[in-house]
Structures are given as structure tokens and as C-alpha cells.
Amino acid sequence: MSNTATIKDQIKKLVDIQTMDLEIYRLKSELKEKPIEVEGLKAEFEAKKTGLKVLEDKLKALMLKQKEYEGDLKVKEEAITKADGHLSQLKTNKEYSAKLLEIESIKADKSMAEEKILIGFDQMDEARKAMEAEKVVVANYERDFQSKKKVIDDILALADDQLKVKQSQRDRLTPDVRPDILSRYDRLVQNKDGLGIVPVKNQTCQGCYMHLTEQAMNKIKINEELMSCDMCARILYFEEEL
């Protein structure tokens, strides 16, 4: 077998491997990038949940405050009942007038407590509405997140499966390539975005689009040795020469 035939044969094999490798490269990128996409969506969803938690805490705080106001009102009511009970026991007009004043004062405090309770009810009502509305938003968000995640999980499972197939298909081709050629090609694939061997079209490297000299073109055509692009170092070939 002449060297020309050998090189040509090796190039054909590399081109077949390259077809697999491009697919492998694409699948690996997908397997790397899609989970990051899921993380992003999850972070957005978590942020929404935190927002809801803030509204829930606000409502809880208002409810606690309301309990406080109600306790305060009860104290005032009891004080009024107690003071009212004292009235009948008082002997002098002075004492009686003083007690009446005291009762009026407690009643004023009681009114204030009632007012606070009414305002509290409005605030709680508002906070509850905001919370309920946000709950719906978060529920929708969760549904949306879960369905997007499902789509991505399915893509990942499929990509994983396809990757295994492609890799085993590739493994069947590599023993036919000379180890020195294969390792040169593999290094290029590693370092040049998955592209180690590219065709020449319109006297241009299809990896980096550098224009090739006539001399380089002739060398590639005769297939006596593996030719590399001076610019990107990828192995070059003519599709029509294979």
C-alpha cells in the first residue's frame, strides 16, 4: 500500500470519527449547560418563595400585634367594670367625681384600643389578600418550573443515552487510525471546539476561514502527508479527493 493511499484512508477514517465527535461535543455541551439552566430557574423559583415568606411573616406579625391590642382592650374593660363597682361604695362627692373622671379616662383608652383593633383588622385583611395573591403567583411559578425542569430532564436523559451510543460507535472506528495521527487529531478536538479535521472549500480552511496558498492546496490534494492549517492547526482535506 502506498503512503498516499494510507494517508487518504486515514483521512477518511478521521472524517468519520469527526462526524461522531461533533455530535459528542454537542451532546457534552448540552449535558453541561442544561443543568445550569435548571439551577437558574430554581433560583428564580426560590426567590419567589422567599417573597411569599416575607408576606406570611408580615401577616403573622400583624396577628401578634392584634392579640396584644385585644389583651389591652380586655384590661381596659375589666378596669372599667372594677371602677364602676367602686362607684356605689364611695362616700363623698369628691371621691365620686374623681372616680367618674378615672372611668372616663379608662374609657378613652379603651376607645383607642378599639380603634387600633379596627385598623389592625384592615391591615391583616390587606396583608392576607397580598399573601393569597402571591401564593397563586408562586404556585403558577412552581408549576411552570416543574414543567420546564421535566422538559430539560428528558433532554438530558436522551442526550446521555445518545452520548453513550456515539461514544461506542466512535470506539469502533478509532482502532483503524494510526496512534500518532489519532493523538494529533484528538488534541485538536480537545483544543479547537471539537473540530480537528476540516474540509477545504473555495481555497479556504473551513475551520478558521483562512485563505490557503496554491502550494498548500497542491500538497493537500496529493495526500502524501497530513496537512494542517497554518492559522488554526486543524487537519485539512478535500472532500472531492476522498
Q: Which is nearer to Zn ion, 52 or 220 (CB)?
A: 220
Q: Which is nearer to Zn ion, 3 or 218 (CB)?
A: 218
Residue with the three cell numbers 482502532:
175
Q: Quick one: the chain helix, strand, coil %, rounded to 5?
A: 80, 5, 15
State the number of binding residues for Zn ion (CB under 5 A). Answer: 7
3-state secondary structure of 175: helix
Establish if 189 lies at the interface with Zn ion (CB under 5 A): no
Q: Which residue of 127, 226, 229, 235 would you call a contact of Zn ion, by CB under 5 A?
A: 229
Calpha distance 74→80 (Å, rounded): 10
Q: Residues 135, 52: contact at Cβ < 8 Å?
A: yes
Q: Which is nearer to Zn ion, 119 or 231 (CB)?
A: 231
Q: Which residue of 7, 14, 200, 205 would you call a contact of Zn ion, by CB under 5 A?
A: 205
Q: Which is nearer to Zn ion, 113 or 195 (CB)?
A: 195
User: If you write DSSP's letter for every residue of 64-105 in order, what string do you get?
Assistant: HHHHHHHHHHHHHHHHHHHHHHHHTT--SHHHHHHHHHHHHH
Q: Which residue of 106, 189, 232, 235 would you call a contact of Zn ion, by CB under 5 A?
A: 232
Q: Which residue of 95, 231, 239, 242 would you call a contact of Zn ion, by CB under 5 A?
A: 231
Cell (9 digits) for 73: 382592650
Task: Specify which residues 200 forms β-bridges with.
Answer: 205
Establish if 207 lies at the interface with Zn ion (CB under 5 A): yes
Establish if 196 lies at the interface with Zn ion (CB under 5 A): no
Selected range binding Zn ion among 33-41, 69-77, 202-210, 211-219, rule: CB under 5 A: 202-210
- Site residues (vs Zn ion, CB under 5 A): 205, 207-208, 210, 229, 231-232
